Every structure is written in structure tokens, then in C-alpha cells.
Amino acid sequence: YPEVGGDLVNIVVSEEQIRQRLSEMAAEIDTDYAGEEILLVGVLKGAAMVMSDLMRHLRSDVSMDWMAVSSYGAGTKSSGVVRILKDLDTDLTGKHVLIVEDIIDSGLTLSWLIENLRSRGPASVEIATLLRKPEAAKVEVDVRYLGFDIANEFVVGYGLDYAERYRQLPFVAVLAPHVYGG
Ligand code: PRP
Ligand code: MN
Ligand code: MG
């Protein structure tokens, strides 16, 4: 199992910090969308843990859908090439859409996705992300609900992978360079 001192250098956001922050974000969301239905759109696969943990705190009337959009492949750097691997099942017309993400890195995935979803006639489109790397931004993305800004290091866990591994960690940690040949 990945441990600090082995594949991991240090823990950046702990399990307790994530739990606490997601409950605060959920309270903000409930206040902002009072009386409205929300369609949560998770971005596979990284957002799987954020989605399940965020939504269990929500009191609002929510439904859930998923898109798979990949820009990373197996490497550690964003290619900037966004591909839809799985589209939504839901018609967005008139819906309040809240995109749920694990991390904004370059911003390329979300800036593309938000324009794509806005073109489908929703009532609104906003973003909730657990993590953001301000130093890695190539495009600015307007985030409504943010968990934590983190340094520009390669992190894994809590849904974030390296070559599909490490997603199951309940915390976010810096991956040791020896793992990816850095
Ligand atoms: C990762 C992450 C975000 C995106 C952020 O997904 O989960 O979705 O990259 O990067 P960006 O801001 O530079 O576009 P990835 O493409 O690795 O797919 P995954 O969620 O299946 O791991
Ligand atoms: Mn992702
Ligand atoms: Mg990935």
C-alpha cells in the first residue's frame, strides 16, 4: 500500500481536512441553490470520490450524471487535447448544472467543458472542485466552490491517479518522483 516515505512524499490534504471542507462547501451550495434542483455533473474518473462525499452532505434536491473527459492519458502532463469518452445521459435544457471536479490543473479540461455544457441551454453552469493549482493555470477558470489551493506538485489520491493508480487513497499526497521517473 502506498505510504509516505515510499511512493508518497507527504500528505497535502488529510482525510479530515477533506471531510470538513466538503461539508462547508455543501452548506454554501445548499444556501445558494435554495429551492432549486441541482444537476451534479461529475467528471470521470477523478471526481468519483468528491462526488460521493460532497453529495452526501447536500440537503438540496439533486440528481447526478457523469461525463468522461480525458486530457491526461497515462502521463503526468496535460496534453490540452480534450476528448469526450462518455457523454451525459441528461438533457441540460433549463437545468442548474454544477460540475464536480477533483482538481483544476492547467484549467484546459474545465474551460473546454464549461463552454461545451453552456452550449446545451442550461439555466446555469457552475464549478465545484476540491483542488486547484494556481501556479499551473494556462487558462483562468471561474470556480464557484473551491476546496483548497495547492502547490504545483504532482499529487495523487482521493480520486487523482498516476497511470490509473493511487485513486483509492483517502487523502491527497505528493507522488515521489522515483515513481514517474522525475
Ligand atoms: C485530471 C483531473 C481533471 C483534469 C485537470 O483528469 O481529474 O479532470 O485532469 O487537468 P487540467 O486542468 O490540466 O485540464 P484526467 O484527464 O487525468 O482523467 P481522470 O479523471 O480519469 O484521471
Ligand atoms: Mn479528471
Ligand atoms: Mg488522471
Average pLDDT value for residue range 48-61:
98
Contacts of 174 (CB under 8 A, 6+ apart): 8, 9, 10, 12, 153, 154, 155
Residues whose beta carbon lies within 6 Å of some atom of ligand 1: 43-46, 70-72, 78, 101-109, 161
What residues have a C-beta under 5 A from ligand 2, the ion?
43, 46
Domain boundaries, the chain: 15-152
Is ipTM beyond 0.95? yes
pLDDT(72) > 60: no
pLDDT in tens, 104-118: 999 999 999 999 999
- The listed CATH number (3.40.50.2020, 3.40.190.100, 3.40.1160.10, 3.40.50.2300) that belongs to domain 15-152: 3.40.50.2020
Average pLDDT value for residue range 51-74:
90
- Is 135 in a helix, a strand, or coil? helix
pLDDT(176) > 90: yes
Are β-strands 83-86 and 61-70 bridged in parallel, bridged antiparallel, or unpaired? antiparallel
Average pLDDT value for residue range 63-85:
77
Residue numbers annotated as active site: 105
Output the pLDDT for position 82. Answer: 86
Measure CA of the first residue to CA of the last residue in the chain; give whole Å: 21
Where b means 16+ CB within 10 Å and e means fewer, 140-158 reads: ebebbbebeebeeebbbbb
DSSP 137: -
Distance 123 CA to ligand 1 centre (A): 25
pLDDT category, 34, cuts 50, 70, 90? very high
Distance 111 CA to ligand 2 centre (A): 13
pLDDT category, 73, cuts 50, 70, 90? low
pLDDT(74) > 70: no
pLDDT(76) > 70: no
Which atom from ligand 1 is nearest to the alpha carbon of 78? Answer: 13
Where b means 16+ CB within 10 Å and e means fewer, 171-182 reads: bbbbbbeebeee
Cα torsion at 115, 18, 90, 107 (round to 10°)? 20
pLDDT(182) > 80: no
Output the pLDDT for position 80. Answer: 64
Output the pLDDT for position 77. Answer: 59
What's the chain's average pLDDT?
A: 95
Where b means 16+ CB within 10 Å and e means fewer, 41-57 reads: bbbebbbbbbbebbbee
pLDDT category, 69, cuts 50, 70, 90? confident
Distance 91 CA to ligand 2 centre (A): 22
Q: Which of these, 56, 67, 106, 119, lies nearest to 89 by C-alpha position? A: 67
